[in-house]
Amino acid sequence: MSRFAILALSGAVGLGGCTTPSLHPLVSENTEIAVPALVGVWSGEDEGEVIEISALQPGPGYGLVTQPPGDDEQPVALEVRAVSIGEHRFLDVTHIGDPVLMPLVFPAHVFIKFQVDDTTLTVWQMTDDWHKIEHLARQAKVERVRNRNGLRDFTIMTASTAELQRFVATHADDARVFSAKSDVYTRQPHGEAANPDPGKP
């Protein structure tokens, strides 16, 4: 499964995931930015992984569709907002939920640090276990709660948007929070697109 798809499923909290999502968004009116360079089709380091980013109409924000490398995996649709805080840029990613699943889950937000230019999109995910560090968990107001279907517990940030912005500004370069290992996507030539409809093969 593509990394962006994994993050999307983490955002659909009831399905679990490998990162700690947030109940509240990182984006706010005074931090949201337009990043035209995000728009395009990008190839991941995993063979066959493709993501397509398009500007939402009307805006703000972007739609992102993952095309996973495996033929037996379905595309995943995300909504992405670009955020500028201090010297860093972040993506606030939300899973666009399947109506069939939504009674079991509720949408949350996943945060990714990024850089982009004409040819390359580089992203840094939050680490899997930063929330186990007590003082970091306190800052982001991490709580362990039970999902809607009651089958399992999960960990989620409950800090407000303003508190989250202070948290990522403080820890953007902290390898305990944002992984030192990046994922790199390369822009495809114009005309090569991912499947724009996640409901069709």
Domain ranges of the chain: 3-187
Residue 119 has pLDDT above 90, yes or no: yes
How does strand 109-116 pair with strand 120-125?
antiparallel
Retrieve residue 163's tokens. 């508190």
Per-residue pLDDT reduced to its tens digit, 42-56: 998 876 788 999 998
Per-residue pLDDT reduced to its tens digit, 126-183: 998 999 999 999 999 999 876 555 556 778 899 999 999 999 999 999 999 999 999 9
* Cis peptide upstream of residue 103 (ω within 30 degrees of 0): no
- Per-residue pLDDT, averaged over 1-29, amounts to 69
- What pTM did the predictor assign? 0.84
Q: Answer yes or no: are the C-beta atoms of 121 and 185 closer than 8 Å.
A: yes
Residue 197 has pLDDT above 60, yes or no: no
pLDDT for position 14: 46
Instruction: Give the helix ranges, DSSP H, for the chain.
Output: 3-11, 134-139, 161-171
The one-character DSSP state at 178 is B
- Per-residue pLDDT, averaged over 19-27, amounts to 90
Across the chain, mean pLDDT equals 81
How does strand 76-85 pair with strand 88-95?
antiparallel
